Amino acid sequence: MTVNVLAAGDNFVLPGLLAAALREHVDADLDITELALDWPDVPFGPVAEVIEASGTEDAIIEALQGVRICLTQMAPITARVLDACPDLEFVAVGRGGPVNVNLEAAAKHGVAVSSAPGRNATATAEHTIALMLAAMRRIPQVHGDLAAGKWRGDYYRYDSVGLELEGRTVGLIGYGAIGNRVARIAGGFGARVAVHDPYVDPAAFAGIAEPLDLPDLLAQADVLSLHARLTPDTQGMIGAAQIAAMPQGSVLVNCARGGLVDYDAVCDALDTGRLFAAAFDVYPEEPIPAGSRLLRTEGIVMTPHLAGASRETAHNAARITAAETARFLKGEPLLHRQN
């Protein structure tokens, strides 16, 4: 029996990657329709009741007619879409959380939903280390001067040169798939790694990192890197008081969620020299507003929320969703079911 599948990719997780992974992992007769959504060329946003989606409900409804299985990263799977697509049985979302799917409505319709946690863990960890080094060695600043034709010998002045990672204490808040990788990479540079994560058994840190409570971590972290989820408890967890508790001239890195940090407090600390540098991939408001202090404060290295973006991440998303599809068709338990 032929299984109709929609591979609703975009310009990052390409429809062709989803289709190729399906053919590799699924031992069934598949009729695959490929649909290309506009993200990231057109920013994602809310669609009806779901967030961070790309495309329209009408386009997805049309594409899902007669389809049993949908693989996607950004397609809006809303209550209206589910109402209009009675053949749909399974949605595999190629991202950590299926925020583009109405999980309650999917459950009501008997549609299973899975996701792809960890798909971008390596990419985000490597990007974190890259930002860390770029901030500590002021690479964007010196590159900008050199590109403008300025050979700045004064960067060799003691008060202008950068910092080394080796021998410093790197403090991590959060020790999931990303934090664990950051710990191992930082350790490879010769840093001492300490971790605060009350949800992880300290035995998991053995040979890699030292568990500390948050006050001790803040007091000892020459570099503080955030890898926590954003919850009501972690909202704004790094503010003026926490920065004041860190060593003078320390570095703050955030590739997790913008809501974890009071960015005005960071700018204040950079202006006064309390922090040596900061590096961010995520922000309270994205894109960054034109008048934001982040755009005019010295000592900040920024990237536009792309820490998890690598070609390997796109392939991982395709592979994980295809493997989940194979399990679904065999009647096996899903590894990453969300509803």
For this structure, is 210 an active site residue?
A: no
* DSSP H helix total and E strand total for the chain: 11, 14
Cis peptide before 40, with omega less than 30 degrees from 0? Answer: yes
Known active-site residue 305: yes
Helix (H, G, I), strand (E, B) or coil at 172: strand
d(CA 61, CA 243): 49
Quick one: which of 17, 100, 93, 24 has its CA closest to 56?
Answer: 100
CA distances to 77, 118, 134 from 95, rounded to whole Å, are 14, 8, 27
Q: Which of 257, 274, 319, 327 is catalytic?
A: 257
Using DSSP, state whether 285 is helix, strand or coil. coil
* Cα three-residue angle 287-290-294, rounded to 5 degrees: 80
The residue annotated as part of the active site, out of 25, 137, 192, 305, is: 305
Q: Is 52 an annotated catalytic residue?
A: no
Radius of gyration from C-alpha coordinates of the chain: 22
Residues 104, 284: Cα–Cα separation, whole Å: 27
* Spatial separation of the C-alpha atoms in residues 96 and 119, rounded to whole Å: 7
Residue 123 φ/ψ, nearest 5 degrees: -60, -45
Provide the β-strand partners of residue 34.
7
Q: Which of 286, 298, 312, 332 is catalytic?
A: 286
Can you tell me the distance from the alpha carbon of 175 to that of 297, in angstroms, rounded to the nearest whole number? Answer: 30
**Active-site residue set:** 257, 286, 305
